[in-house]
């Protein structure tokens, strides 16, 4: 058991939309990523996904609404729900999701798909 300094972990990388793993519990991975710009619309057929904003602000567009999340706010996106994260400026985001979750959901052949994620 070791404490994790989130600020220090986020300072280890500069790219966007590339999740890194910082922890694991009960089959769930704790991931962090920097968001900037717009990600693709996608869904996860079998996994719920939690987004918590550590720094900045993000928007998550759904089919019928858009939610804005500020620092300290989070949202759980249920499995099967189409969603599209975006951030006008750089945002730091923490995510909880099952280890089987692919960042682009059913769009596994996307240029944005990241597999074999590294630990930081």
Q: pLDDT by residue (tens digit) across 2-29?
A: 999 999 999 999 999 999 999 999 989 9
Reading phi first (left if > 0) and then psi (alpha if -120 to 50, else beta), residue 27 is in left
CB 58 within 8 A of CB 93: yes
Q: CA 60, CA 28: separation in Å to the nearest integer?
A: 22
pLDDT of residue 69: 98
Q: Is the pLDDT of residue 104 over 80?
A: no
- Tally the C-alpha atoms within 13 A of residue 65's C-alpha that lie toward its C-beta: 4
- Choice between 68 and 100, residue whose per-residue pLDDT is larger: 68
Q: How many CB atoms lie within 10 A of CB 105?
A: 22
pLDDT band at 85 (very low <50, low <70, confident <90, very high): very high
pLDDT at residue 1 tops 90: no
Residue with token string 């858009």: 66
CATH 2.30.38.10 for domain 23-98: no
- Top pLDDT among 118 and 32 is at 32
The rounded distance, in Å, linking the Cα atoms of 94 and 74 is: 9
Q: pTM for this structure?
A: 0.91
Least confident of 63-67, 75-79, 96-100: 96-100
| Residue entry with tokens 């620092």 | 71
Lowest mean pLDDT among 24-38, 61-75, 106-120: 106-120
Domains of the chain, by residue range, sit at: 23-98
């Amino acid at each position: 058991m070791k404490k994790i300094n989130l600020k220090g972990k986020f300072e280890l990388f500069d790219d966007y939309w590339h999740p890194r793993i910082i922890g694991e519990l009960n089959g769930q991975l704790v991931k962090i990523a920097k968001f900037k710009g717009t990600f693709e619309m996608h869904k996860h057929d079998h996994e719920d996904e939690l987004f918590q904003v550590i720094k900045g602000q993000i928007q998550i567009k759904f089919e019928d609404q858009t939610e804005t999340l500020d620092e300290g706010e989070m949202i759980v996106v249920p499995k099967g729900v189409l969603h599209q994260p975006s951030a006008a400026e750089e945002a730091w985001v923490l995510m909880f999701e099952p280890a089987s979750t692919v960042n682009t959901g059913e769009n596994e052949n996307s240029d944005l798909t990241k597999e074999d994620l590294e630990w930081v």
